[in-house]
Amino acid sequence: MGKLPVPFLLFVFSTLFTLIIPSAGGLSFSFTGFSPGDPNITYEGNASSSGGAIQLTTNRRDANLNLSSGRATYHRPMQLWDKASGNLTDFTTHFSFSIDSQYKSPYGDGLAFFLGPEELPPLLFQGEGLGLGLLRNNQPLNTTDNQFVAVEFDIFQNGFDPPGEHVGIDINSMKSVNNITWECDIRGGKTTEAWISYNSSTNNLSVSFTGYINNTKEMQFLSYIVSLRDILPERVSFGFSASTGTAYAIHTLRSWDFSSSLEIDGNVTNDGNGTNPLDPAAASPPNNGTRRNRKKNWTGLAVGLGVGVAIVGGMVGFVFKFMCRHEEDEEGDHVLEEYMDDEFERGTGPKKFSYQELARATNNFKDEEKLGEGGFGGVYRGFLKEIDSFVAVKRVSRGSKQGIKEYAAEASNEDQVSMVRWVWELYGEGKLIEAVDPRLCGDFNKTQVERLMIVGLSCAHPDEHLRPSIRQSLHVLNFDAPLPILPLKMPVPSYFALPIAASSLSIMSYGSADSTGGMNDSSSYVYNTNSSQISTSSSASSASAMLLHTG
C-alpha cells in the first residue's frame, strides 16, 4: 500500500482547522420590512413606520409634505473601533428606498445613510432642507464643525452642489468630499438599491447603487479613502435621515441589511424583523452572559472537533479503500468507482448512498417507480428516510460507460459549485484569505489576492446579469475601480436581480477619490452586446456636494 499523498493531508488538516476555528462577528441584522412599534428602530422627527416601510418624511394626505425632516436609527450603537486593541471594524450594508415626487417638480431634498456620535444632536427644528438631521440650527451646512460620515442621495442643487441629482460622501460637512451624478427617476418614484461597505484594511468606503436611463436599470459606483477611526468615536449611532424644504418628495426606506465584523467582549447580535438576537446572553446581565458565552464556546468547540474528526476519519477511510481496491473488480464497477472516487467524493460535494439504501428507497427499482429512461439507464422515484425526502435515483446500466462518464462529469460540476459557495461563505465571514492554497505559505500580496477572489466571486454570481464584463473586471484588478459589493451570503439566481434589456448590458459608472483632496475624476462606461464599440465619458468634478437646501 502506498503512502497517503501530501496534497490530501494538507487538505485534511486545512479542513479540520477551518471547522474548529470559531468565527468572530459584530452586529448583524436584516429587515425585509418594518412594523410599527418595532423596538429595534428608533424614530425622530417626522419619521414613522407605515405600510411595512419607514417614511422618513411626512407622507399623509392630511398634512403638508414640505418643511419636514425625520431620522430612523438602529436601536443600539455599533462598535466602530476599539481603543484597547486599535482594531477597526469592517461593515457592509444594503438597503432599498424610493424618493417619489409624484410627477411634480421641482422636488427636494434627499436622504442619507449616516454614522454619527452615540448621542446624536436632537432635531431642534424640522424642515428647511436639513437632510442629514445632524446639524444644529446655528451651524453652517458647509463647514467641518460637526462629527459624522454619511452617504447622501441628493435631489436638490444648492449653491455649492454639482449640477443635478447626485450621490456624495460627506465627512463632518454637507459639502461632499467626493460625488457622482445619479441617474435616477424621482418623478416616477422608482426603487433604488444601494450597497455601502467599509474595508478597515484599505480604509476604502465604497458605495454601489442603481439608477435608470431610458427605463433601463444601471449600476454606479463611488468610493473614498478615509480612516473612520480618525473621524468618529469608538461607538456610533447609524441609520437614515431625510428632509424636505419648500420643494418636497416622499422619502421611503423599504428594506435594510447590515453586518459589521468587530466583536468586543463577545457582543454578537443578529436582529431583524423583531426577532431575538442569536446570542441570548447579549441581553443578559454581565455575569450570566459571560457564563453562557463560555458554555457556548466550549459547546461549539466540541461540536467542531467531533465533526472534524468524523470528516477526517471518513476521508482517510475513503483513501484507504481506494488504494486497496482489488484489481479483479469487474470492468464496469472499476470504471464507475474510478470516476466516483476521483470526481464525486472529493471535497464537500454530493452525498454518496449505498446500493442497498437506494434499492430500499425505490422498492428494489420496481417498474412502478420508474420515472423515465435515458441512454445511461433508468430514473426511479424513491424516498430516503435518512433525509426525509423524495429523490430521483439514476440507475446506470452496466453497458453504458458513456453514461457513467457523463454522470461523473455532472457530479464534478456540482462539486465546483460547492467550492464557489464555500469561498462565498468565507467572504461573508470576513475570512476570505483562508481560501488561499496553504502550500503558498503566505508568499503573496494579501490585498491583491483578496481583490482577485472578490472579482472571481462577482464573475461567478448566480445572476448572469450582475456579472462584470472582462473590461470591468480588469479595471477593478488594476485598482482603477472600487471592489464590487457582494451580498454576504451567496444569492440564488433571482437575488438582487436587475431587469436588463436583452440587447444590451447595463451601464456601469464609478467615481473614486482619496483623502488627499483636490480634483476627482468620475467616469462611466457603456457596454452594448450588439457592438464592440465602447463609448467613454469623463468629467472633472470638485469635491463638493450637499444633500439639501436651506430655504
The alpha carbon torsion through 247, 248, 249, 251 (nearest 10 deg) reads 130
Instruction: Count how many residues are written for the chain.
Output: 551
Distance, CA of 185 to CA of 478 (rounded, Å): 32
Q: Please count the other Cβ atoms lying within 10 Å of the Cβ belonging to residue 412.
A: 15
Given a contact cutoff of 8 angstroms between Cβ atoms, the answer to whether 202 and 195 are in contact is no
Q: Which three cell numbers stand for residue 1?
A: 500500500
For residue 72, the one-letter residue type is A
Q: What is the DSSP string of 379-409?
A: EEEEEETTTTEEEEEEEE-TT-HHHHHHHHH
Packing angle of the helix pair 446-459, 401-428 (nearest 10 deg)? 130
| Nearest residue to 417 (alpha-carbon basis) of 325, 490, 316 | 490
The per-residue b/e assignment along 120-145, b for 16 or more CB within 10 angstroms, e otherwise, is bbebeebbbbbbbbbbeeeeebeeee
Please state, in angstroms and rounded to a whole number, the distance separating the CA atoms of residues 296 and 312: 24
Q: How far apart are CA 438 and CA 17, in angstroms?
A: 12
**430, 490 Cβ separation under 8 angstroms:** no
Between CA 163 and CA 156 the distance in angstroms is: 9
One-letter amino acid for residue 76 of the chain:
R
- The kind and range of the H/E element at 520 are strand 520-526
Compute the distance between CA of residue 472 and CA of residue 47 in angstroms, rounded to an integer: 39
CA distance 178 to 198: 15
Longest dimension (CA), the chain: 91
**295 labeled binding residue:** no
Count of beta carbons in the 10 Å neighbourhood of residue 432: 19
Closest alpha carbon to 136 in 126, 121, 114: 121
Q: What is the 3-state secondary structure (H, E, C) of 83-136?
A: CCCCCECCEEEEEEEEEECCCCCCCCCEEEEEEEECCCCCCCCCCCCCCCCCCC
Q: SS3 for 318?
A: helix
> How far apart are alpha carbons 530 and 481 in whole angstroms?
25
Cell numbers for 228: 473612520
Q: What Å distances lie between residue 59 and 63, 73, 74, 99, 248, CA to CA? A: 8, 19, 21, 11, 11
C-alpha R_g of the chain: 28
Residue 340, number of CB atoms within 10 A of its CB: 17
Binding residue ranges:
394
Binding residue ranges for ATP:
394
